Structure 1
Amino acid sequence: MVSLVLGQLRRRPAAFAGLAAALLLAIATVTLFGSLFAADLATPEAVRRTAAGPGVMVIAGAFGEIAVLVAFFVVVNALGFALRQQHRELALLRTVAATPRQTRRLVRGQVVATTLLVAVPGWALGAVAARRFLAALQQRGMAAPDARVPGTPVPMLVALGAALLLGLAASAVAARRISRIAPAAALTASATEQARTGVPRLLVGAGVLVGGGLLLRLSATRPADQVDRAGQAALLGSLVLLVAVALTGPFAARLLAGVLGLPLRALAPGAGWLADANLRGYARRLSSAVVPVAMLVGLSGTMSIMTFTAEHAAAAASSASSAVSATSATSATDVWLRQAELGMLVCFATVSVVNTLVAVTADRRREFALLRLVGATRPQLLRMLSAEAVLTTAVGVLLGAVVAGAASAAFSTAVTGSAVPSVPVATCGWIVAGAAALTVPGILATGRWAVGGPAAELVGGGRD
C-alpha cells in the first residue's frame, strides 16, 4: 500500500498540487491561531488586562472557527480533483480485485503522505504569521505589549493533527463514489458523468439551505449592542449557504447556464452555442468550476458589504446610543480585523479557484482531441473555451452575489433595521474583476496546453 501511495504521488505530482496547497494553508492557519492561543495563555492575567478589545484568545477563536470550515471546504474540493485525475487507475484497481476498503485506504494514505510533506513549510509559515499578527495586534493596543509567542511545539502538533483530521474527513467524502460502486461500473464511470443530481443530494442541499437561512435569521435578530455576533452569524450563514450551493450546484448551474447562455449564443453563434451546450450537458463539471468562484465572490462580498454597512451606519447615526453601538463595529481596529479575516478567506478561495479551473480544463484533453479529429481547429477550441470561461465566471459571480446579498441583508437588518445594506460599488466591482482575472486566464492558459498534443494518441488513451 505504501508503494502504491508514493508511486501515485511521484507519477502525478500536479494532481496533488492543489491538495498540497490547501493542506499547507490549513496547517499554517491552525499554527497561527494556536500560537496566538499559547501566547495569550503564557501572558500573566494582570498584563493581559492592559490590552483593549475582545482579547487575543477571542480573536484567535473567531478567526479559527471560520478558517477550519473554509479549509475543510477547500480540502474536500482539492482532494476530489486529485481523485478525478487518477479515477481510471482506481477503477482498474477495483477491476483486479481491490476491495472498497483497500481503495479508501489508498486514498487516506495519499492524504497522510501529502499532509506530512507540507507540514514543515506549513509550520514555518504559521509561526512567522503568528509573530507578525501578534505584533500588529500590539501596535493597535489589542494585545499586551509584553505578550510573546512561546517556543512550544504544541500549536504545530495540534495543526498537524487538525490537518490530518480534515484530510481524512475529506477523503471519506471524496472517495465515497469510487469505493461504493461495482468494479465494472467504476471503470465505466471514469469516462462518463452522472446525468442528474441525485435526490438525496438535493434533499441534503435543501436541509443545509434551511440551516443557512436560520443562521441569517439569527444574525438579523441580534440586538444593536451585539453587532459583532450578528456579523459572525452572517458570515457563518454565508458559508453554510455556499455549502448548499455546492450540494445543489449541478442543478443550479445548469439552470443559470441555460438563462445566461441565451445572449452568449446570440453574440457568438458558433463558439457560444458549443460552449453553452458543453456547460449545460456537463452540469457536474460546470458546478465544480463555478462553486469556488461563488465562494470567492460570496465571502469577499459579504465581508466588504458588512463592513461598509456598519461604517455607513456609524456616519449616519443621530442618537448617542446608536452611535456608540455602530462605532463599536466600525473602529479602525475592528475594520482592520475584518480585512485580515477577509485576506485569509481570499487566500483559501483563490487556491480553490485556481486548482479547480486548472484541473477541470486539463481533464478535458481527450474531449478536445476528439473534437480536433472531427474537424475542429485549435483557434476554434480556444474561442469555445473563452466563451465557456465568460459563462462560468458569470454563473459563479451570480451565485456568489446571491449569497453575499442574503448575508449582508441579514447583517444590515441587525445594524440599521433595514434589509437594504450599503453596497461599496467600487469594491464589489474589484471583487468581480478579481474573480474574472482568476477564472478566464486560468481556463485559457490551461486550455492552450490541453488542446495540444497528438489527437489520435490522446483519444486512444496512450497519453495523459
Structure 2
Amino acid sequence: MAPFSLRDGKAPAGPDEVVLDADLASRGGVAVGQRVKIAVRSAPAEFRVSGIAAPKSGNGLTRQSALFFSPEKAAELADTPGQAHAIGVLADPGVSPGDLADRIRDAVGTDKVAVTTGVERSTVEFLDVSQTRMLLMALAGSFGGFALLIAVFVVASTLALVINQRRREFALLRAIAATPQQIRKLIGAETMLVAVIAGVLGSALGVAVGYGLRNAFGAIGVIPPDFELAISPLPLIAALALGLGTARLAAWSASRRPSSIRPVEALGEAAVERRELGRVRVIIGVALVVAGLAGSLIPIFLRGEAGLAASSSSALIIVIGLAVVSPKVVAAITRLIAPVLVRTSRISGYLAAANNQANSRRLAAAVTPVMLAVSFALTMFYSQTTAAAARQEQTVESTTADHVLSSGTGGLSPEVAEAVRRIPGVAAATPVVRTEVLNTVQEQDSLRVERYAAQGLDGGQVRGNLDPGLVAGKLTDLTGNTVAMSESEADWYEKKIGDEVEFYFGDGSPAKLRLVATYTRDQAFGRYLLPADLARAHTGDRMDDSVLVRDEPGADPATVATALRDLAVRYPGLAVAPGSAVAAPGGGQEQAQFYVNLVAVGVILGYVVISVANTLVMSTAQRSREFALLRLIGTTKRQVVRMMRFEALATVGVAAALGTVVAGVPLVVLNLGLRGTPLPSGPIAVFGGVIAGAILLGLVSLGLSTRVALRSKPIEAIGLRE
C-alpha cells in the first residue's frame, strides 16, 4: 500500500511504540529499542522505537518525514474515534483501477466518499497538492481574464497606430471603389495572418513561461517545490483560440475608422489627421470613466475581497474609458504643456509642442499603453499592501493583551491556555483558534461556495485581551452552540441577536447556531466568532493558533513573562512576544497571495512593456520623411534628437500623470474605506520605480528609433514612400 517496508525491528504494537523512517532515525541518532520524545499536541510524549522503515529507494521521503504508530494510538492522536482519513483499496489481478473505482462508487455512494485513482490520489495524501491545484486554477482564470482584456486593449491601440500610418493606402483603396466591408476584411485577414504565427510561437513559449512561474511560486513557498506541471495540448489550443479571438476583436475595433471614410473625402482625410471624435465614441468613453469612478466607491460600502476586487477592476475600467476618448484628453493636456516646452527650448521645444498638438491621435496611441502599465502596476501593488496594512492595524488596535503566545512548530495544545491561567499574576488567557466557515450561494444551475475567515475564542476569557468593537450582545455568552457575527454580515443576512444562523464549518459539517453578539472589527477577527471548543472540534489538528495573556493589575510584567517562557520546557517551540507583536489573521496566506499576485503581475507587465516599446518605436519609425524635411529646411540633427526627447518626456509624462490619477482615485477611496486615511500603505520607492521605469522606457524606445531614423541622408529619406 505504501512504499515503506521494515528495515529493522518490528511494527508498533503498543500505545508507546513508534516506527521512524531511516532518514529521520539517522538524523536523530536513534536505533531500535531507544526512547524518543515526540511532540503530540505541542506537548512532548515518550515513545519506544520498535522499528526502522525505509521506502523502496533511499532512506526517506523528499517532502516529509514518516512516523508509524499502532492503529489505536493513531486514532487517538487524530482525535477521530471510529473514523479514518482514507481507506486504501488494492485491485485484484486483471481488474483496472478505473473499473474498481466505479464499483466502489456504486456500492458506497458519492455523497459519502470521494474515490480517487492514479495521480488524483495525491490530493488525498498531500492536502497542499489539492490546494495548489485550486490556487493555480483560480490564478489562471483571474489573470488569464486580465491578460486577455489587456491584450485586446494593447493590440487595438497598436493596430490603430499601424492603420493610422497607412491612411493614404486605405484612402486610395476607398477612392478606387473598395467597399467598407472589403477594407475591414483586408485588415482582419492581415491581422489574423500575423496572429496565427504569433499565437503558435506564443503557445510554445508559454510552456517555458509556465515552468518559470512554477519555479518562482515554488521558490516563494506558494506551491510545493516538487509540484509537477501537467503539459497537454488542450491549454495550448485554448490559448491559441483565445489569442486569435482577441486579435480579431482588436482588428474589428481598429478597422471601423478607415472603413467608414466616404470615397469623396478619402484623399483629403488622409492628408490631415482628423481631430474630431465620433459622438458615440465620446459617450462610451465618458460612460466607462463614470462607471469606473462609481465602482471605485464600492470599498466604502463593501469590505473584504469583494471591495478589493472592485477597487482593482475600477482602475482598469477608467483606463479603458480614457483610452476611448484619449485623443481629446491628450489634446487638452498638450495645450497646457505646450507653453512649457516652448519656453524650455525655442526650437526643439516649439517643434515638439507643435507635433503633439497636430498629431493628438498618434500621441494618444503611444500614451495609452504606458498609462495602462503605470496604473495597473500601482493599483495591483498598493491595493495589496493597503489591505494587509488595514488588517494588521485593526488587529493591533483590537488586541489589548500584554503577551502573545505562539508556537514555532505548529499549533498550541489547549493545555497551554489552562497552564497559563494557573500562573500567578495572570488575569486572563484567551485561546485563539483561526479557522473558516463556508456559505453556499445558488447561481442558476450551480452552487457557489464562499469561504470566510473566522476565529474561535473563549468567551469567558476575552476580557482585557480583545476589543472586537462590540455593537450588540455580549461575548461572554459565546459558549456552546452560539456564534457572533460582524455587523455587516449580520445585516446582509438580516440576523438579529437571538436568531438562528446556518452555515458550514471549515470541515464541511453543517452548523445551526444562535447569534449572541455583533461587532465591527471584522478585518481583525473575520466575519464569524465561534466558541473555542466548537472551532477546535472542526479543525484538522484540534489546536490553538495562539494564546493572548492579560496581566493582573499590579503584577510585574517581567515576572509573568519569565513564567510564560518557562512553559517552553513542557511545550517545545513555545514563543512569548509582547501584545503589540500580534499578527493579523492569515498573515502567511495573505503574504503568499501577495507574492503570487506580484509574480503574475510581473508577467503581464512584461507583456505590456514589450507592447509599449513596440508602439513607441512604430510611432517614430514612420516619421523618417518628416525628420528629413526638418533637416533640409535647416534643423540640425541634434535639434531633431532634442525635439524627440521632449516628445518622449511629454508622452511618458502625460501617461504617468494619467496612470497615477487613474490608480490614485480607487486607492484613495480604498484606503478611506479600510484605514480611514487617504494615503496608500506601502513603500514610496515602488511608486518612484514605476514612474522612473516608464520614463526610462519611453526615452530609450524613442531615442533608439529616432537615431535609426536619422541614419539616412535627408535627400534620400525625403524620397522614401510613406
Q: Which residue of 2 is the match for residue 449 of structure 1?
A: 708
Report if the CA contact (8 A) 1:55-1:142 is conserved: no
Question: Residue 295 of structure 1: which of 372, 379, 386 is its match?
Answer: 372
Question: Residue 286 of structure 1: which of 363, 368, 374 is its match?
Answer: 363
Shift of 1:239: 1.0
Opposite residue 195 of structure 1, the aligned amino acid is R
Q: Deviations over 1:355-374 (max 9, x none)?
A: 11111111222222222232
Q: Distance in 1 between matches of 2:625 and 2:136?
A: 52
Report if the CA contact (8 A) 1:299-1:345 is conserved: no
- Compared CA separation, residues 261 and 324, structure 1 to 2 (3 A): farther
Q: Deviations over 1:173-230 (max 9, x none)?
A: 111111111234333333321123333322111101112123212244322xx2x333
- Compared CA separation, residues 66 and 43, structure 1 to 2 (3 A): farther
Q: Which residue of 2 is the match for residue 171 of structure 1?
A: 251
Shift of 1:329: 7.1
Question: Residue 196 of structure 1: which of 261, 276, 282 is its match?
Answer: 276
Secondary structure of the residue aligned to 1:55 is helix
Q: Which residue of 1 is the match for residue 339 of structure 2?
A: 262
Question: Residue 322 of structure 1: which of 494, 498, 523 is its match?
Answer: 523
- Compared CA separation, residues 90 and 329, structure 1 to 2 (3 A): farther
Q: Deviations over 1:100-141 (max 9, x none)?
A: 222222211112211221233212221222234345546666
Q: Which residue of 2 is the match for residue 207 of structure 1?
A: 287
Secondary structure of the residue aligned to 2:627 is helix
Report if the CA contact (8 A) 1:95-1:187 is conserved: yes
Q: Which residue of 2 is the match for residue 427 of structure 1?
A: 686
Secondary structure of the residue aligned to 2:297 is helix
Opposite residue 393 of structure 2, the aligned amino acid is A
Secondary structure of the residue aligned to 1:463 is coil
Q: Which residue of 2 is the match for residue 32 of structure 1?
A: none
Provide TM-score, normalisation by structure 2: 0.54
Q: Which residue of 2 is the match for residue 273 of structure 1?
A: 350
Residue 592 of structure 2 corresponds to residue 333 of structure 1? yes
Question: Residue 149 of structure 1: which of 229, 241, 245 is its match?
Answer: 229
Residue 257 of structure 2 corresponds to residue 180 of structure 1? no
Q: Distance in 2 between matches of 1:48 and 1:62?
A: 25
Q: Which residue of 2 is the match for residue 104 of structure 1?
A: 184
Secondary structure of the residue aligned to 1:246 is helix
Report if the CA contact (8 A) 1:301-1:401 is conserved: yes
**Aligned residue runs from structure 1 range 336-347, under 5 A:** 336-347=595-606
Q: Distance in 2 between matches of 1:88 and 1:47?
A: 66
Report if the CA contact (8 A) 2:326-2:364 is conserved: yes
Question: Residue 77 of structure 1: which of 157, 178, 181 is its match?
Answer: 157
| Percent identity for Structure 1 against Structure 2 | 31
**Aligned residue runs from structure 1 range 19-34, under 5 A:** none
Shift of 1:322: 3.4
Structure 1 range deviating more: 165-174 or 48-57: 48-57
Q: Distance in 1 between matches of 2:650 and 2:280?
A: 28
Q: Distance in 1 between matches of 2:525 and 2:150?
A: 32
Opposite residue 190 of structure 2, the aligned amino acid is Q
Q: Which residue of 2 is the match for residue 463 of structure 1?
A: 721
Report if the CA contact (8 A) 1:47-1:144 is conserved: no
- Compared CA separation, residues 88 and 43, structure 1 to 2 (3 A): farther
Residue 306 of structure 2 corresponds to residue 229 of structure 1? yes
Q: Which residue of 2 is the match for residue 117 of structure 1?
A: 197
- Compared CA separation, residues 46 and 218, structure 1 to 2 (3 A): farther
Can you give the 5+ residue segments of structure 2 that lack an aligned partner in the other structure? 1-118, 400-521, 527-583
Q: Which residue of 1 is the match for residue 661 of structure 2?
A: 402
Can you give the 5+ residue segments of structure 1 that lack an aligned partner in the other structure? 1-41
Q: Distance in 2 between matches of 1:69 and 1:423?
A: 27
Q: Distance in 2 between matches of 1:324 and 1:348?
A: 39
Q: Distance in 2 between matches of 1:201 and 1:329?
A: 45
Q: Deviations over 1:222-281 (max 9, x none)?
A: 22xx2x333322221111111111112122212222323333332323322221222122
Report if the CA contact (8 A) 1:91-1:186 is conserved: yes
Structure whose CA Rg is larger? 2
Secondary structure of the residue aligned to 1:175 is helix
Q: Distance in 2 between matches of 1:47 and 1:179?
A: 60
Q: Distance in 2 between matches of 1:220 and 1:52?
A: 31
Opposite residue 238 of structure 1, the aligned amino acid is A
Q: Which residue of 2 is the match for residue 33 of structure 1?
A: none
Opposite residue 379 of structure 2, the aligned amino acid is T
- Compared CA separation, residues 88 and 407, structure 1 to 2 (3 A): same
Residue 207 of structure 2 corresponds to residue 127 of structure 1? yes
Secondary structure of the residue aligned to 1:190 is helix
Residue 334 of structure 2 corresponds to residue 238 of structure 1? no
Q: Which residue of 1 is the match for residue 614 of structure 2?
A: 355
More helix by share: 1
Q: Distance in 1 between matches of 2:657 and 2:306?
A: 27
Q: Which residue of 1 is the match for residue 671 of structure 2?
A: 412
Residue 325 of structure 2 corresponds to residue 248 of structure 1? yes
Opposite residue 184 of structure 2, the aligned amino acid is R
Secondary structure of the residue aligned to 2:677 is coil
Q: Which residue of 2 is the match for residue 371 of structure 1?
A: 630
Question: Residue 95 of structure 1: which of 154, 175, 188 is its match?
Answer: 175
Q: Distance in 1 between matches of 2:664 and 2:586?
A: 23
CA RMSD of aligned residues (A): 2.7
Shift of 1:168: 0.8
Report if the CA contact (8 A) 1:308-1:424 is conserved: no
Report if the CA contact (8 A) 1:112-1:167 is conserved: yes
Opposite residue 206 of structure 2, the aligned amino acid is G
Q: Distance in 2 between matches of 1:48 and 1:194?
A: 62
Q: Deviations over 1:344-391 (max 9, x none)?
A: 231132122111111111122222222223222211111111111112
- Compared CA separation, residues 343 and 422, structure 1 to 2 (3 A): same
- Compared CA separation, residues 327 and 124, structure 1 to 2 (3 A): farther
Q: Deviations over 1:385-420 (max 9, x none)?
A: 111111222111110110110121233234324343
Q: Distance in 2 between matches of 1:389 and 1:52?
A: 46
Question: Residue 138 of structure 2: which of 58, 63, 68 is its match?
Answer: 58
Q: Which residue of 2 is the match for residue 8 of structure 1?
A: none
- Compared CA separation, residues 214 and 348, structure 1 to 2 (3 A): farther
Q: Which of the pair has the greater relative contact order for Cα pairs under 8 Å at 6+ separation?
A: 1
Provide TM-score, normalisation by structure 1: 0.82
Q: Distance in 1 between matches of 2:350 and 2:721?
A: 29
Report if the CA contact (8 A) 2:312-2:383 is conserved: no
Q: Deviations over 1:52-87 (max 9, x none)?
A: 586332222111121111111111112223323433
Secondary structure of the residue aligned to 2:178 is coil
